[in-house]
Structure 1
Amino acid sequence: MFTKERALKIAVIVLALIGGYDLIRAYMHTFNIWHASAEIAQMSQTPDTMWLMNYQGAMQLMSGLIYLLIVWKAKKIAPYVLMINAIANLYHLFSASLNGVLEMQTSAFNGQYFMYVYIAIIFLTGLNYLIAKKRNALG
């Protein structure tokens, strides 16, 4: 298993990569919205859907920049930020399922598969740090 220090270093690297990935997603959801919605997500291009997708791009810009700021100025909170991100994404999936939104999908929405991998990576990276920290505390 990893030491606490190594697990933190991995979490910082993953957060930096996720920050960069979120900046790419911000571009795709805003300035490349028509291609991303048709070719990647394969979702319907209704005005409401495109508005929400564009708004999501603004949120991706914010999260990407915040993640990179954390990597630059506050490395010690990187694993916790990864866990918060994972919990928020799982909350979204749970609420969408509970409200019946997932079952109402009319398109393949291939973008969801990227998100499943994204959630798994950030959750496991954060969990790895928490386990390493606990082992370090136990001696």
Structure 2
Amino acid sequence: MRRPFLLGLLALPLLAGCAMPGGEASQEPVHVVFFTEDSAALDEAAQAVVADAARKAQADASLPVRVMGFADPDGGRAYNRALSAARAEHVANSLRDQGVPAARISVAPRGPVPFEMMPLESRRVEIVLGAPAPAR
């Protein structure tokens, strides 16, 4: 069952500044792109979010851009890890296409997240401006 997109919009303030898997907390500006189940395609709403993030990233050339992909836990860990990577890569490619230099973008597929959030909120990519890539 699909939830209305409005529900996803209501979750945006809840996701900004939330604890991420692995214990890191985000205090940087976060743009959240939501996806439908089993998809990495950017719909119109997603394209608008990415365009806004690209404009803000271009306005301050010193900002690193971290793109983190997530998926819900349905379908198996390996499948969802690949899906979260595909989602993050699609968003990163769209940022590059809109003029954000590739050297400033780091991509981090996070894989499936538990259903602590509703499935719609689990199927997302977060674009974090000003956050360096975590050390490996």
**Fold shared by both chains (TM-score > 0.5):** no
Richer in strand (by share): 2
Q: Which has the higher contact order (CA 8 A, sep 6+)?
A: 1
Q: Which has the larger radius of gyration?
A: 1
TM-score normalised by L of structure 2: 0.29
TM-score normalised by L of structure 1: 0.29
Richer in helix (by share): 1
